Chain A
Amino acid sequence: MNEILQKDSIFKVGKVISVEGRTIKIEVDKAKNSAHLLYQGKLLRNISVNGFVKITKGFTRIIGKVEGEFIIEDKQFSNKKYTNEKQKIKRILQVSLLGFFSPKGFERGIKELPLINNECFLLDLPEFEDVHNFVKKKDDPLILGTLTHENNQEIKVGVNDLFASHIGIFGNTGSGKSYTLAKIYRELFLKYIENNKFRDNAKFFFIDFNGEYVNDNVIINKDYKNIYSLNTRTEKDKFPISEEQISDYNFWSLVLEATEKTQKPFLKRAIENDFLTQKIQDGDSLIEFVKSLILKIIDKNDDNVNIAQIIDLLSQLGDCLTNSNISQTVLDLRQNLHYNSTTHGFYIGTNNYDGVIPYVEELFGNIEFDEIEDDYLSKVRIRIILQFHHEIINGYSNIEHLSPLLKRTPPRLNDLRKVIVINEEDSDKNITVISLRDVSIQMRKMLPLLICKQLYEKKKEVNEKEKYLNIIIDEAHNILSSISQRESETWKDYRLETFEEIIKEGRKFGTFLTIASQRPSDISATIISQLHNFFLHRLINNNDIKAVERTVSYLDKLSFESLPILPTGTCILAGLSAQVPVMIDIGKIKPESEPDNKTMLLIENWKDELD
């Protein structure tokens, strides 16, 4: 009994003097102004802004957070006899209520409001621990770092709470985003990587725009992860893509940026055309088909579709055949075949109108090649070429509409060829890092979309309950921005739809996104609003802060005000996995596992002799 009384006398700080909604004012009865308090040999944090207090009302213990403090001077001072200067000054705390203690421990939310004159106490250690204990029963704890204001308090979150949710990590460049991302996943992997079930049932894909996570031991030792360092300049690693996906005309309309109205239907026709499939089965039937097209041109005698078209067709065809002599054929044609636009007719040599068809026949007889390029990408290209010419010659389509698409095809295919490979096999490693640092701008936009779409579609299709997929996108504004002037609307809609679908529906199929970005305001509001957990680093720009504010409803005023002034490596954790928003100093990672994105040290590189 004595001990309890003694403890109360040490811990009591004051009493409630006003209750206005969630905001409570407390008059402090002691000059408890030191930062810490000793109790039973332990250091406790004393009351201060950002600290917690406990208000007792009967048997209920209500917990509040101190958001401000100020003093009120007694105006009637002159006509009272004060012995001490301190007595005329009242120290007032402004507290916002957060939750209460129930038999189960700390719970967020308010059931009861305090009354005037209720006593107010500091939290003792067990209570403090309880408020900061975010790990539910039956959940595994993951230590992320320490509380900023109380460095001895470790912050642990529950694995279920955090990883079965969409996570957003936001902050200006250099505020420690990537480090936080690496830390979260490193802790998770270190905890489970040796379990076979984890390796079978969980898949992690890191889409890494800046190549921060591809180095050997970043996040986790290289034995545990597949690294695809994609490069469109020189061939390096290739990402496996299924044949099924690549034979989808939507995929191609993305890659070739086909327009909605004309080019996309054309692509659909080209790729899904069974009639073409037969034609390109072997060399002879292909040549036969091309010949028939050319003869058709000659037969039509159309001013607009003449020699140029023939030469186009042949030279494009040449690209798709190995060891062919088509270039010879083209030269021959250029020299011998002419078109007379007054008589609207083809002739060879000097006005030999009748020898055209035998000449063409003969030419085609001389064409030699080993085989048709047999990789899938070339086959698609042949289809597009043949379909194009077929439609133009027959007058089904307008050449002006389709030729840009045809022009785009070869370079796109070349890029694509360098970074993907058709492969159905699954790797046995469950962590994959895809670096897009050395990929051309076009492909950077496209690849993540292709990859994520493939992963998600497959996951949806199979939908095994125990399988888990997590897609982690660092620098997500690259592909999730809702504002973009440089791309077509179609493309944008498609891009956003894909990810919005994952974020809206993914949870049901065990798919989760982790997004790290410097511009939350740039990212589509749909996506931000669906995130469950936020790690907020320093954000300077007002739009970014607003974007976060609109979606993180349970962040208190104080945390918001501190957003622009957070030090590097400190972030606010808010969301479903944290009962109260807390400011965390993210724990250290071993140097060899840190993400590779240090700000350069100029002096080291400029001075010959370092001091």
Chain B
Amino acid sequence: MEDKELNHHKNIFQDCNINFLIGSGLSNPFFGTLGNIETWLEGLEDLKSKKTVSDENYLLAKSTLYKTYFDIAMRGNIDIHSSIITKDEFEPAETTPQEKLNNTYKAYKDFFKTLNHILYERRSNTVNKQINLFTTNIDIFNEKLLEDLDLQFNDGFNGIFNKKFSLSNFKKSFYQKSLHYDNISEIPVFNLLKIHGSVTWEMKNGNINFSNLGIVEEVDNEISKLSLLDIKKMNDDKWDSDDRNLTIEEIVEEVDKIDPKPDVGDFISSYEKLQIVNPTKDKFKDTTFNKNYYELLRLYANELEKENTVLYVMGFSMADEHIREITIRAIKSNPTLKIFIVSYTETADDIISNFLDDLIDIKSFPNVEFICPENGFNLRKFNDYLLFPLRDSIIEYNKTNS
């Protein structure tokens, strides 16, 4: 990165409200991408409404898809939770799940550690020492790392025996009083806003409570009792033989062949306890949860409307139309907003085409800038590219000036 560009980011970090929008790309390589699950789930709902699938097959296919989703995006949380990673360097190879976990963990660790450092060095009387992390990820990487690094963060929960989630818990500032002089100084705080819910949430008496990984383990337990189709493998085979993806009809056919059909009732009911937004268009099942979802979106919108705000979009392809819509509105209405879109690919085609769905040519906006120096630009490379140089320049700067 050139000095001029670095200076630009330095000034932005110095004087703006900092927000991150984090998508599933950031938890790569540990969590895979969802692939076609969304299409299949929607296709299944479609078949059901057309009455072309029996109820039994519907449930079985649905649970098969849920299981696949669970395998890809949730089970790993148990490993994250139980792992104690002391190694503070990247693995040279990235083949085994453990190596993938270590590398993802390390990249997140560098990310939070550096941000915290930069935030700590920022002394300003107009912006506070807070960073908002908006994320659609339901995994627990963020909380795990923030906890392991012993940083102050705010995930919206309050309480001990009964940790309740409430939006009013955000927007808290943390100060520490020094022992000797009663001086008060602000501590950097990360506000963690999980827009799509989290595997650690459960519904209790109409409130969202913190359940740790109880539900995930329960679902995992239910899955182990069943033997369901391995859709991922089937899809891979299909791709190898015919060079195309599996269709939902083919999945239903395969499901139909199973005899005897397992009872998936327990699995589905435990799965549906998860307070997450499933990758379907149908995000409006549970009203309480939905209320929270929209409230979080509202917070996102409010943050983007503030003056002198910067948003770094990372690992997120803007496929979620609600978030995309709010972002576009903010880009158009707030001239003091700057958005940096950090893209995994150099061309950022997926992001650009997602915006085109709303007939928006995102490149034409002066306040949107892409950061995509190379292909395979993941969190680790982002740290090397921007955050480390930024931190070093700030520290160097403060060293020579103190």
Contact = CB atoms under 8 A, between A and B. Distances in A.
A605 interface: no
Given A6-B335, A33-B125, A33-B126, A38 B310 contact: yes
Contact of A34 (B8, B308, B335, B368): B308
A31 to B, nearest CB: 6
Contacts of A37: 15, 308, 336
Contacts of B4: 151-152
Interface residues of B, number: 25
Dominant SS among interface residues on chain A:
mixed
Given A34-B15, A34-B126, A36-B15, A41 B368 contact: yes
Interface string B1-31: 0001001100110111000000000000000
B11 A39 contact: no
B118 to A, nearest CB: 16
A441 B365 CA distance: 66
Nearest to B8: A43
Given A41-B368, A151-B7, A7 B15 contact: no
A39 B12 CA distance: 12
B7 A35 contact: no
B8 A38 contact: no
Nearest to B125: A33
A32 B309 CA distance: 14
A10 interface: yes
B361 interface: no
A41 B369 contact: yes
A293 B308 CA distance: 97
Given A34-B126, A40-B367, A7 B335 contact: yes
Contacts of A34: 14-16, 124, 126-127, 308
A42 interface: yes
Interface in A546-583: none
Contacts of B369: 41
A38 B126 contact: no
Nearest to B9: A43
A444 B341 CA distance: 63
Given A36-B11, A36-B14, A36-B15, A10 B126 contact: no
B129 interface: no
A38 B125 contact: no
Interface in B281-333: 307-310
Contacts of A152: 4, 7-8
A10 B333 CA distance: 13
A41 B308 CA distance: 10
Contact of B335 (A33, A39, A151): A39
A152 B7 CA distance: 9
A187 to B, nearest CB: 19
B206 interface: no
Interface in B212-231: none
B338 interface: yes
A363 B278 CA distance: 127
B337 A38 contact: yes
Ranked 10 nearest A-B pairs via Cβ: A41-B367, A34-B15, A41-B366, A36-B15, A34-B126, A40-B366, A38-B336, A33-B126, A36-B11, A38-B338
